[in-house]
Structure 1
Amino acid sequence: MGIVQCMDGKKYKTFGDLAMGYLNSLLNCFSQSNEVVDVFDRYDTELSIKGTERKLRARRANCTKVYQVLESRGLPDLKKFLAVEENKRQLVSFLGSFVEKVVCMSERVPNGKTLYMAGAFDNPDIVKKFTTEEVNLCEELGSTQEEADTRIILHLINIDSSFKRSGTRGRVIVQSSDTDVLVLCCHFLQKLTNTDELWIQKGHCVRDGKKFVPVHDIYKALPSHVPKVLPVLHALSGCDTVSSMYGIGKKSVFKLMCLDVEICLGLEDVEDGMIFLNACRRFVARLYDAKSKYKDSHGDLNKLRYKLATAKEPSLARLPPSEMAFREHVERARLQSIIWLNADVAVAPSISPTDHGWSIEEGTLCPVPFKGNMTEDILNELICQCKGKKKCHDNCVCRSRQFPCTELCVCGGLDMCLNEHTHNLIVGKQMEGNEELVD
């Protein structure tokens, strides 16, 4: 689909014209390759974790119209057309049938070359192999993987095996601008033992910034532990199916994973939910508390939130997620990590998204924000209503939970508050201020 998305829809009058332009783009790849593989996403998954993202894209494109894709039918606005999932499904199936028909009639594949198409037919599991002489079903490459990003890996391993069978060492170019593909190629490069060079071509022409990224060189430059955990941390820090954490960018994540081997321990253990949760929590706590000033609170993000919120000049935007919200976030990252780490197998793991941070709403999978009490219930338990001369001395909800009172409490968290935790906080801030004056 990447090739189609980069095509200028204004150049083509009908779907048939678009399909011929697509086929010519594929055939042009034979100028530098013996084998060309085109892999498509599948759009027949009833409940997809990418469903919410796809609906958002359609909404941004302001298009919900579904077209019937016929060879002679006029081509609508391509960008709006591709924003609707059903349109994509129909187009992919049409392209597969069109290529098969044209190749069989006119022998368009050059002699000695091979074209593979994966996921482009009514049954998206299958792969077809096109040569000058014939079209064959390639059963060994059939796959249930939903995304082209993951299915690409299966084809890379197959190409590497063909290098081994022929006694040669080869070069592979993957055409994709998706960061997910780069991450997966770095992770699985160790399996490509007969591939000397693995390149990713980003963009398709000078206009959209065509350039080549040497994955083999990147892999060699990375610390040995990084490729192993790269897909997990990419998911944890934000991708199409997992939200990012406010204020935490990819650069911060990458820097920490490269500098500290121990902080990455346990991140590969996606099968054990508790080990994985603890490893993710430890990593995220370091992102928000880079100097480990509150290391004793890294085992509970609620405690770390409190420490950071009550520090001098706190930034509420820099607080980590609450513990309950983080657990749901980790489950979604865990699900995506399991899918990515199994990209080298034909049959994708059968896992229920509703057990991993997702719920079904109006027939679509939606992320679960958190499980537990809502904000109003929590605040009622954390904000005291103490009055009288002995404010916050007896029966104070803040004091009973060993928390200082805050400006939201009736006492305002001021000097007159008799909660010793409030007093200690005020004294601590005063001492910090005095230390800065001395410095």
Structure 2
Amino acid sequence: MNRLMGDCIDFKKNSCDSYTEVTTSSIPLRTPNGSSITFIRDEGNKILSVYDLKYDDILDIDHHHELIHNNRAMITARIRECWSTQTCIDALPKGKVLVISGPDDAAVTLKRSDRPFEDYLLVSSHIEADTRLFIHAQAMSFDDIKSIVIQASDTDVIILAIAHALSFNVDNIFVKSFNTRAKLTTYINIREIALRIKYKFSINPIILLVIHALSGCDTTSFIKNISKPNMFRTFFSNTNRYESLNDFFRLPLTTNAISTAERLLLDCFSSSNTVSSLDALRGVMARSAFKRNRSSFVAPTLPPSNNAFYYHCHRASRQIQIWHQVYQSDMVIGSMDSWEGYEIIENEIHLKWLSIEHLPSDPRLSVCGKCS
């Protein structure tokens, strides 16, 4: 534990900032005995083996990875407990403050020669560290700190940082990201990117949250054959065309917002196509494949149906609300099963794709016409 804390301290010795923030996320999941326990990340519907660990327990080396993976919230709580001991506090550099938040709603502030205390300004009900860290960044800006460095390699954090960069009263915001391929550490000037987007395209960078959610993330769904760079490039090629995407920040989700998102997706396939709906594009692409005798390859290449994309947009809408409310300490977002786009099947949450039957009611439509 001291070594892990030392990694944070070494980072601070080479910088001029006063604060180090260690933020984790949490979400309640069901355990085999029906009780509730908190985990770092959403593991979907997996039932995990969990343990009531103590900070001085010795971990089983043979099953170390599984133990860590299945008990991340519990271990995070024990790390916070260890770091709050006097031995670790005395190891902090003078003049530096270490703030630890998660896996519950509390945030503990540690400072050399002081007792640990909970900072009630940083109490948060957020279930994602991706959003929770922005409450901490905002609090730092209130303390007249003019430069903030966020250490993260997650795409969500980078996009959120650009989208919210102009909301902070600071001079500089950087994301320190480690490139696993190049084995290099990169500092991304987030505020500069946000300013360029604002002045070059005359838009609020907050709209990036919508494009990011629509192009796919872990809590929504992904659109096959349409990459995230493709959708971003298409959007920036004509931002005025997609102005109604701002309606995704409002509830309930409007038909106009979904129609504009559909137009964006259609343009991702081809900006020159004249079709007015995804269903129409599916028909055009299917006919073209049949004419070229490529019928066996047509299904994987088709865009989602209008019905499927409707539910995708509602999943994106929920995630956009989470990302948009980063400064709300008590974020109120309904559970997944209370939103369109998800459904309960055998007591498990699944993505919903259709509100119609998978097969047509008329059996004659289930065959090509050449079959008997």
Are 1:187 and 2:163 matched, yes or no? yes
CA distance in 1, matches of 2:130, 2:152: 9
Supply the RMSD in Å over aligned alpha carbons. 3.1
Amino acid at match of 1:213: I
CA distance in 2, matches of 1:335, 1:51: 20
Amino acid at match of 1:125: D
CA distance in 2, matches of 1:360, 1:65: 23
2:43 to 54, 64, 81: 54
Q: What's the counterpart of residue 80 of structure 1? A: 66
Amino acid at match of 2:285: L
Amino acid at match of 2:27: Y
Aligned pairs for 1:6-405 (under 5 A) are 19-31=1-13, 32=15, 33-44=17-28, 54=43, 65-70=49-54, 71-76=56-61, 77-84=63-70, 87-102=71-86, 107-120=90-103, 124-132=104-112, 133-163=114-144, 170-193=146-169, 195-203=170-178, 209-222=184-197, 223-225=201-203, 227-270=205-248, 271-274=251-254, 275-291=256-272, 293-294=273-274, 297-298=275-276, 300-311=277-288, 313=292, 316=298, 317-354=300-337, 355-374=339-358, 376-377=359-360, 380=363, 382=365
Question: Does the aligned pair in 2 maintain the 1:117–1:128 contact within 8 Å?
Answer: yes
Q: What's the counterpart of residue 437 of structure 1? A: none
Shift of 1:242: 1.6
Amino acid at match of 1:99: W
Q: What's the counterpart of residue 419 of structure 1? A: none
- List 4+ stretches of structure 1 deviating above 6 A: 50-53, 204-207
CA distance in 1, matches of 2:3, 2:347: 36
Question: Does the aligned pair in 2 maintain the 1:109–1:131 contact within 8 Å?
Answer: yes
Amino acid at match of 1:306: G
Q: What's the counterpart of residue 13 of structure 1? A: none
CA distance in 2, matches of 1:98, 1:276: 48
Shift of 1:217: 2.7
1:379-412 superposed Cα distances (whole Å, 9 cap, x missing partner): 736468xxxxxxxxxxxxxxxxxxxxxxx22399
Question: Does the aligned pair in 2 maintain the 1:54–1:83 contact within 8 Å?
Answer: no
Shift of 1:265: 1.5
Question: Does the aligned pair in 1 maintain the 2:360–2:366 contact within 8 Å?
Answer: no
Greater Cα shift, 91-100 or 279-288: 279-288
Amino acid at match of 1:370: L
CA distance in 2, matches of 1:283, 1:216: 26
Label 1:207 to 1:310 Cα distance change in 2 as closer, same or farther (>3 A): closer
Shift of 1:220: 3.0
Question: Does the aligned pair in 1 maintain the 2:153–2:178 contact within 8 Å?
Answer: yes
Q: Which runs of 5+ in 2 are unaligned?
A: 31-35
Shift of 1:208: 5.0
Q: Please give the TM-score of this superposition, normalised by the length of structure 1.
A: 0.71
Q: Which runs of 5+ in 1 are unaligned?
A: 1-18, 164-168, 385-407, 413-439
Label 1:199 to 1:138 Cα distance change in 2 as closer, same or farther (>3 A): same
Label 1:179 to 1:119 Cα distance change in 2 as closer, same or farther (>3 A): same
Q: Please give the TM-score of this superposition, normalised by the length of structure 2.
A: 0.83
Shift of 1:68: 4.4
Aligned residues: 348
Larger radius of gyration: 1
CA distance in 1, matches of 2:191, 2:259: 32
CA distance in 1, matches of 2:179, 2:270: 41
SS in 1 for 2:246: coil
